[in-house]
Amino acid sequence: MIIKEYNKLNGDTISEIKRLVSACNDHDGLNGMMELDTSCNVNKEMKTVFMMYDDNKLVSALTLFVPGKKEGEVSAMTISEYRKKGCFTELVKRAEEELKKYGVNEILFLCEAKATHGKAAILKQKAQYEFTEYLLKYNHSLDMKVKEYEYRLKLKPATLADLESIIKISMAAFGDSYEGAKSLATGMLKAENRQFFLGEIEGEFVAMGVAAKGDEGTSIHGLGVLPEHQGKGYGKEMLYSMISKLVEQKAENINIEVESQNSNAFKLYKNSGFEVESAWEYYRKII
Protein backbone atom coordinates (compact mmCIF):
# COMPACT_ATOMS: atom_id res chain seq x y z
CA MET A 1 0.00 0.00 0.00
CA ILE A 2 1.12 3.56 -0.67
CA ILE A 3 0.30 6.88 0.98
CA LYS A 4 -0.15 10.11 -0.94
CA GLU A 5 0.18 13.41 0.91
CA TYR A 6 -1.21 16.83 -0.05
CA ASN A 7 -1.43 20.36 1.33
CA LYS A 8 -4.65 20.99 -0.57
CA LEU A 9 -7.28 19.01 -2.43
CA ASN A 10 -8.49 19.10 -6.02
CA GLY A 11 -11.79 17.93 -7.47
CA ASP A 12 -10.65 14.35 -8.04
CA THR A 13 -9.23 13.80 -4.56
CA ILE A 14 -12.28 15.42 -2.95
CA SER A 15 -14.53 13.04 -4.88
CA GLU A 16 -12.43 10.06 -3.82
CA ILE A 17 -12.65 10.98 -0.14
CA LYS A 18 -16.39 11.63 -0.39
CA ARG A 19 -16.89 8.14 -1.82
CA LEU A 20 -14.82 6.72 1.02
CA VAL A 21 -16.89 8.61 3.61
CA SER A 22 -20.13 7.44 2.00
CA ALA A 23 -18.99 3.79 1.99
CA CYS A 24 -17.97 3.95 5.67
CA ASN A 25 -21.21 5.65 6.73
CA ASP A 26 -23.34 3.17 4.79
CA HIS A 27 -21.54 0.24 6.42
CA ASP A 28 -21.65 1.65 9.96
CA GLY A 29 -25.03 3.41 9.83
CA LEU A 30 -23.43 6.72 10.81
CA ASN A 31 -23.29 10.33 9.61
CA GLY A 32 -19.52 10.80 9.80
CA MET A 33 -17.72 13.66 8.07
CA MET A 34 -14.17 14.56 7.18
CA GLU A 35 -12.71 18.07 7.00
CA LEU A 36 -11.99 18.81 3.34
CA ASP A 37 -11.51 22.58 3.54
CA THR A 38 -7.80 23.41 3.80
CA SER A 39 -8.18 27.18 3.36
CA CYS A 40 -8.01 28.02 7.08
CA ASN A 41 -4.90 25.99 7.92
CA VAL A 42 -2.33 28.33 9.42
CA ASN A 43 0.56 27.07 7.28
CA LYS A 44 -0.31 26.61 3.62
CA GLU A 45 2.78 24.47 2.99
CA MET A 46 1.90 21.89 5.65
CA LYS A 47 0.62 18.59 4.29
CA THR A 48 -2.80 18.06 5.84
CA VAL A 49 -4.32 15.35 3.64
CA PHE A 50 -3.09 11.74 3.80
CA MET A 51 -4.63 9.11 1.51
CA MET A 52 -3.77 5.39 1.61
CA TYR A 53 -4.19 3.25 -1.50
CA ASP A 54 -4.14 -0.48 -2.16
CA ASP A 55 -3.72 -1.18 -5.88
CA ASN A 56 -5.09 2.28 -6.80
CA LYS A 57 -8.07 1.89 -4.47
CA LEU A 58 -8.48 4.45 -1.68
CA VAL A 59 -8.91 2.43 1.51
CA SER A 60 -8.18 4.96 4.24
CA ALA A 61 -7.81 8.74 4.57
CA LEU A 62 -6.90 11.26 7.24
CA THR A 63 -7.23 15.04 7.16
CA LEU A 64 -5.85 17.71 9.48
CA PHE A 65 -7.50 21.01 10.39
CA VAL A 66 -4.75 23.26 11.78
CA PRO A 67 -6.05 26.84 12.18
CA GLY A 68 -3.49 27.65 14.91
CA LYS A 69 0.01 26.71 16.05
CA LYS A 70 -0.93 24.58 19.07
CA GLU A 71 -2.97 21.65 17.80
CA GLY A 72 -4.26 19.84 14.75
CA GLU A 73 -7.74 18.32 14.54
CA VAL A 74 -7.77 14.86 12.99
CA SER A 75 -10.66 13.26 11.13
CA ALA A 76 -10.14 9.89 9.46
CA MET A 77 -11.97 6.93 7.95
CA THR A 78 -11.06 3.44 6.78
CA ILE A 79 -13.30 1.11 4.77
CA SER A 80 -14.49 -1.89 6.76
CA GLU A 81 -12.38 -4.65 5.13
CA TYR A 82 -9.15 -2.76 5.86
CA ARG A 83 -9.77 -2.04 9.53
CA LYS A 84 -7.49 -3.51 12.21
CA LYS A 85 -4.69 -3.74 9.64
CA GLY A 86 -2.73 -0.70 10.79
CA CYS A 87 -4.00 1.78 8.19
CA PHE A 88 -5.15 4.39 10.72
CA THR A 89 -2.00 3.97 12.82
CA GLU A 90 0.25 4.54 9.80
CA LEU A 91 -1.69 7.62 8.70
CA VAL A 92 -1.56 9.06 12.22
CA LYS A 93 2.21 8.48 12.28
CA ARG A 94 2.61 10.41 9.01
CA ALA A 95 0.39 13.22 10.28
CA GLU A 96 2.33 13.48 13.55
CA GLU A 97 5.62 13.71 11.65
CA GLU A 98 4.23 16.55 9.56
CA LEU A 99 2.84 18.42 12.58
CA LYS A 100 6.15 18.17 14.41
CA LYS A 101 7.94 19.82 11.46
CA TYR A 102 5.87 22.94 12.12
CA GLY A 103 6.09 22.88 15.92
CA VAL A 104 2.55 21.58 16.51
CA ASN A 105 2.67 19.13 19.41
CA GLU A 106 -0.94 18.24 20.15
CA ILE A 107 -3.63 16.31 18.26
CA LEU A 108 -7.39 16.42 18.75
CA PHE A 109 -9.02 13.30 17.33
CA LEU A 110 -12.60 13.87 16.20
CA CYS A 111 -15.02 10.94 16.30
CA GLU A 112 -18.79 10.57 16.01
CA ALA A 113 -20.09 9.47 19.42
CA LYS A 114 -21.74 6.35 17.97
CA ALA A 115 -18.63 5.24 16.05
CA THR A 116 -17.45 2.33 18.21
CA HIS A 117 -14.72 1.24 15.78
CA GLY A 118 -13.40 4.79 15.51
CA LYS A 119 -13.25 5.31 19.26
CA ALA A 120 -11.44 2.02 19.77
CA ALA A 121 -8.81 3.01 17.20
CA ILE A 122 -8.35 6.43 18.82
CA LEU A 123 -7.96 4.97 22.31
CA LYS A 124 -5.18 2.71 20.98
CA GLN A 125 -3.33 5.95 20.19
CA LYS A 126 -3.36 6.65 23.96
CA ALA A 127 -5.48 9.75 23.45
CA GLN A 128 -7.58 11.04 26.34
CA TYR A 129 -11.25 12.02 26.08
CA GLU A 130 -11.66 15.78 26.45
CA PHE A 131 -15.18 16.88 25.51
CA THR A 132 -18.25 16.24 23.36
CA GLU A 133 -19.47 18.63 20.71
CA TYR A 134 -23.09 18.63 19.60
CA LEU A 135 -24.28 19.40 16.09
CA LEU A 136 -27.63 21.18 16.17
CA LYS A 137 -29.89 21.80 13.18
CA TYR A 138 -32.06 24.89 12.76
CA ASN A 139 -35.84 24.39 12.51
CA HIS A 140 -37.11 26.50 9.59
CA SER A 141 -40.58 26.72 11.12
CA LEU A 142 -39.15 29.72 13.01
CA ASP A 143 -38.24 31.65 9.85
CA MET A 144 -41.01 34.23 10.30
CA LYS A 145 -40.14 34.79 13.96
CA VAL A 146 -36.51 35.39 13.03
CA LYS A 147 -37.45 37.71 10.17
CA GLU A 148 -39.77 39.85 12.32
CA TYR A 149 -37.48 40.02 15.36
CA GLU A 150 -36.85 43.58 16.61
CA TYR A 151 -33.12 43.95 16.11
CA ARG A 152 -30.85 46.44 17.81
CA LEU A 153 -27.71 45.07 16.19
CA LYS A 154 -26.83 45.98 12.62
CA LEU A 155 -25.36 43.05 10.70
CA LYS A 156 -22.34 43.88 8.53
CA PRO A 157 -20.40 41.55 6.18
CA ALA A 158 -16.80 41.71 7.42
CA THR A 159 -13.76 42.31 5.21
CA LEU A 160 -10.01 42.36 5.78
CA ALA A 161 -10.40 46.05 6.66
CA ASP A 162 -12.24 44.89 9.81
CA LEU A 163 -9.47 42.53 10.90
CA GLU A 164 -8.49 44.44 14.05
CA SER A 165 -12.11 44.56 15.25
CA ILE A 166 -12.41 40.81 14.72
CA ILE A 167 -9.15 40.16 16.58
CA LYS A 168 -10.38 42.29 19.49
CA ILE A 169 -13.59 40.27 19.82
CA SER A 170 -11.76 36.94 19.39
CA MET A 171 -9.25 37.75 22.12
CA ALA A 172 -11.88 39.03 24.54
CA ALA A 173 -14.63 36.47 23.91
CA PHE A 174 -12.56 33.33 23.37
CA GLY A 175 -9.22 34.08 25.04
CA ASP A 176 -7.33 33.75 21.75
CA SER A 177 -3.84 35.19 21.36
CA TYR A 178 -3.39 38.13 19.00
CA GLU A 179 -1.45 36.10 16.43
CA GLY A 180 -3.79 33.13 16.72
CA ALA A 181 -6.88 35.30 16.23
CA LYS A 182 -5.26 37.14 13.33
CA SER A 183 -4.23 33.95 11.53
CA LEU A 184 -7.63 32.28 11.90
CA ALA A 185 -9.63 35.38 10.96
CA THR A 186 -7.46 36.12 7.93
CA GLY A 187 -7.91 32.58 6.62
CA MET A 188 -11.67 32.71 7.07
CA LEU A 189 -12.02 36.15 5.49
CA LYS A 190 -10.17 34.90 2.42
CA ALA A 191 -12.04 31.59 2.17
CA GLU A 192 -14.54 31.50 -0.68
CA ASN A 193 -16.98 29.24 1.18
CA ARG A 194 -17.20 31.40 4.32
CA GLN A 195 -19.10 34.56 5.20
CA PHE A 196 -17.79 36.57 8.14
CA PHE A 197 -20.26 38.87 9.91
CA LEU A 198 -19.94 41.60 12.52
CA GLY A 199 -22.69 42.93 14.78
CA GLU A 200 -22.65 46.69 15.26
CA ILE A 201 -24.45 48.87 17.78
CA GLU A 202 -24.00 52.61 18.24
CA GLY A 203 -20.96 52.59 15.98
CA GLU A 204 -19.15 49.77 17.83
CA PHE A 205 -18.62 46.19 16.70
CA VAL A 206 -19.67 44.07 19.68
CA ALA A 207 -20.32 40.63 18.16
CA MET A 208 -19.17 38.37 15.35
CA GLY A 209 -19.98 35.09 13.66
CA VAL A 210 -19.04 32.99 10.63
CA ALA A 211 -21.19 31.00 8.20
CA ALA A 212 -19.42 28.21 6.31
CA LYS A 213 -21.10 26.60 3.32
CA GLY A 214 -20.44 22.88 2.78
CA ASP A 215 -21.94 19.83 1.12
CA GLU A 216 -24.18 19.11 4.10
CA GLY A 217 -25.47 22.67 4.45
CA THR A 218 -24.35 25.90 6.10
CA SER A 219 -22.67 25.83 9.50
CA ILE A 220 -22.61 28.80 11.89
CA HIS A 221 -19.56 29.01 14.13
CA GLY A 222 -17.27 31.49 15.87
CA LEU A 223 -20.24 33.28 17.46
CA GLY A 224 -18.83 35.66 20.07
CA VAL A 225 -19.77 38.82 21.98
CA LEU A 226 -17.46 41.26 23.77
CA PRO A 227 -17.59 40.46 27.51
CA GLU A 228 -18.73 43.96 28.46
CA HIS A 229 -21.76 43.53 26.20
CA GLN A 230 -22.70 40.01 27.24
CA GLY A 231 -25.94 39.42 29.12
CA LYS A 232 -27.79 41.99 26.99
CA GLY A 233 -29.25 39.59 24.43
CA TYR A 234 -26.75 40.44 21.71
CA GLY A 235 -25.70 36.81 21.32
CA LYS A 236 -29.24 35.81 20.39
CA GLU A 237 -29.59 38.85 18.14
CA MET A 238 -26.35 38.02 16.31
CA LEU A 239 -27.48 34.44 15.83
CA TYR A 240 -30.93 35.49 14.62
CA SER A 241 -29.44 38.13 12.30
CA MET A 242 -27.18 35.56 10.67
CA ILE A 243 -30.02 33.05 10.33
CA SER A 244 -32.21 35.74 8.74
CA LYS A 245 -29.46 36.54 6.23
CA LEU A 246 -28.90 32.86 5.43
CA VAL A 247 -32.64 32.23 4.97
CA GLU A 248 -32.70 35.23 2.63
CA GLN A 249 -29.91 33.50 0.68
CA LYS A 250 -32.07 30.34 0.45
CA ALA A 251 -29.86 28.28 2.77
CA GLU A 252 -31.88 25.19 3.70
CA ASN A 253 -29.77 23.14 6.12
CA ILE A 254 -28.43 25.54 8.76
CA ASN A 255 -26.54 24.01 11.66
CA ILE A 256 -24.35 25.02 14.56
CA GLU A 257 -21.88 23.24 16.86
CA VAL A 258 -21.50 23.65 20.62
CA GLU A 259 -19.22 22.02 23.20
CA SER A 260 -20.72 20.05 26.06
CA GLN A 261 -19.05 22.34 28.64
CA ASN A 262 -20.65 25.46 27.17
CA SER A 263 -24.05 25.17 28.84
CA ASN A 264 -24.98 28.82 28.23
CA ALA A 265 -24.43 28.56 24.48
CA PHE A 266 -26.22 25.19 24.34
CA LYS A 267 -29.24 26.73 26.07
CA LEU A 268 -29.16 29.74 23.74
CA TYR A 269 -29.14 27.58 20.61
CA LYS A 270 -31.88 25.27 21.90
CA ASN A 271 -34.05 28.30 22.70
CA SER A 272 -33.32 29.78 19.27
CA GLY A 273 -34.83 26.96 17.23
CA PHE A 274 -31.94 24.48 17.00
CA GLU A 275 -32.38 20.76 17.65
CA VAL A 276 -29.65 18.19 18.43
CA GLU A 277 -28.82 16.11 15.37
CA SER A 278 -25.59 14.31 16.34
CA ALA A 279 -22.75 14.28 18.85
CA TRP A 280 -18.98 14.23 18.29
CA GLU A 281 -16.30 13.34 20.80
CA TYR A 282 -12.81 14.86 20.98
CA TYR A 283 -9.73 13.04 22.27
CA ARG A 284 -6.41 14.79 22.90
CA LYS A 285 -2.93 13.36 22.42
CA ILE A 286 0.43 15.02 23.08
CA ILE A 287 2.94 14.13 20.38
pLDDT at 142: 87
Say what angle helices 163-174 and 178-190 make with each other, to 10 degrees.
Answer: 130
Segment 94-124, tens digit of pLDDT? 999 999 999 999 999 999 999 999 999 999 9
pLDDT in the model for residue 51: 98
Q: Percent of the chain beyond pLDDT 70? A: 100
Q: What is the dotted CATH code of the domain comprising 136-277? A: 3.40.630.30
Which is nearest to 6 in space by CA: 60, 45, 34?
45
Range(s) for CATH 3.40.630.30 in the chain?
Answer: 2-126, 136-277
Beta bridge partners of 77: 61
The yes/no answer on whether domain 2-126 falls in CATH 3.40.630.30 is yes
Closest CA to 87 of 113, 63, 58, 52: 52
Q: What is the mean pLDDT of the chain?
A: 93
- pLDDT higher than 90, residue 81: yes
